[in-house]
Every structure is written in C-alpha cells, then in structure tokens.
Amino acid sequence: MTRTLVISDIHGELELFEQLLAKVQYDPHHDQLILLGDYVDRGPHSKKVLDKVIELKAQGALVLKGNHEDMMIKALTTDDEHAWKHWAHRNGGSNTLQSYGFSEEEFIVPENVEFVKPELYSDKLTGHLEFIQCLDSVIVSEDYIFVHAGIHPTLPIAETDPYVLMWIREDFYNGYHGDKTVIFGHTPTTILHDNKNNHAIYFGKNNIIGIDGAAVYGGQLNCLELPTKIMHYVKK
C-alpha cells in the first residue's frame, strides 16, 4: 500500500463521504482506508452509509466502531429505557431509524407513558446491526494508534474497556503523552483548536491527531493521508 487514508464521523452524510473518496482518488488496490466510526445518526443517510462501509470493508478497508454505533447497539439489542431514549430521542438515532423507513410514530416513546420498547423490524437493519456488533475498537500499528475517541493515558490498551476507546474525551487529549501518535475522531476539531470556525485536522503537540471536522454540523469531512500527513476535505 502506498497511502493510508483515515476518515471519521461520517454521520449519515453519504454524499460528502463519496465526494471525499473521489477527491482523494481512493483505490483499494493501492491505498489502505481506515474508518474510525460514527457512520450513523444525525445525518440523512445512515443506512446507505453503512451499505457503503460494508462494501469498502469487503474491499480491504479497516473499520472501527464509534460511540454512535455503541449507542445504536445498546438501544436495539436491550430493553433498557435509558439506552433507547438516549439514542433514538436525543442523539440522532431518529434520523437513523427514518433512513430505514420507520416513522417517528413507530419509535418515539412519549415521556408520560410506561416505557415499552418499540417493535421495529427490517432485514437490512438486522444485517447492519450484526455488522457493527462485530467491529473492533482500536488498531495499533508500528507508529500509530487508530481509535474512535482516544485511549486512556495511563492504562494499557489491552486492559482498557472498549467503552473508553469509543467515548473518552478530555482525559485523553489533555493527558496523553505516549510515543505512538494517536489518530482519532469523536471530538470536533473546533474544540481542539479552541476556535469554533476551525474544522481542519488538529495536530497536537502531544502526539495526537484529531480529524473530526463536524461535517454533519456544517463543518467539513476530513481525510488524513499518511505518511505525508496531508489533509483532504469536502464540505457542503
């Protein structure tokens, strides 16, 4: 492979994702594509994005699980009220369910009634759920650590709960000082740059590279090219 291309936090933005792959002229025969999670929620086309991710994985892409996949799994595989409402009501799961053809009347549970988990079924949704449940949470190479949210700054990765790898924020990006460079999404780079208008990839002095350009919020979808560390991006 001549290049490694890293993308994160697509969030249902299929058009931007396909534009970015075209812009970098991604070729699975020569490039290693690594996707860092959060394919679903908030954007309009979660189902189609997962279809694309499955296609890319079959061609050789390395695919990780993000915290939004984590929420989706917990909501759809348990009867826990908090898990359902946390995902479907408050974190963009409604957009994901609508992309599979469900209406709000089918999955929004009123606050003033006893919770009964909505019964939703779709062959496509079931297949996608099985796919994301099998995804890894971290990739470690000779020089880099690829992860959705970050790593615990003092725990060995092998001893770290996958939940931490998908959800951690400040403790990681303020506290990490390891030798390997950690490439991650999850935290919008506007926060890392401390500039609400700067969606560019963040190159931290403590060996961290944040690439979540908050595309679904009107920012940009970033791609980090390695080993050159060139930034590619598209925006609406």
Amino acid at 96: T
**pLDDT in the model for residue 76:** 96
**pLDDT in the model for residue 111:** 86
CA 162 – CA 180 distance, rounded (Å): 19
**Residue listed under structure tokens 């590279």:** 209
**pLDDT in the model for residue 128:** 98
* For range 127-135, the mean pLDDT: 98
Residue-wise pLDDT for 43-66, tens only, equals 999 999 999 999 999 999 999 999
* For range 92-98, the mean pLDDT: 97
Give domain 3-68+132-234's CATH number out of 3.20.20.70, 3.60.21.10, 3.30.930.10, 3.30.200.20: 3.60.21.10
* For range 103-123, the mean pLDDT: 90
Residue-wise pLDDT for 208-231, tens only, equals 999 999 999 999 999 999 999 999
* C-alpha closest to that of 137 among 180, 166, 169, 171: 166
pTM: 0.96
Q: Does 1 score more than 80 pLDDT?
A: no
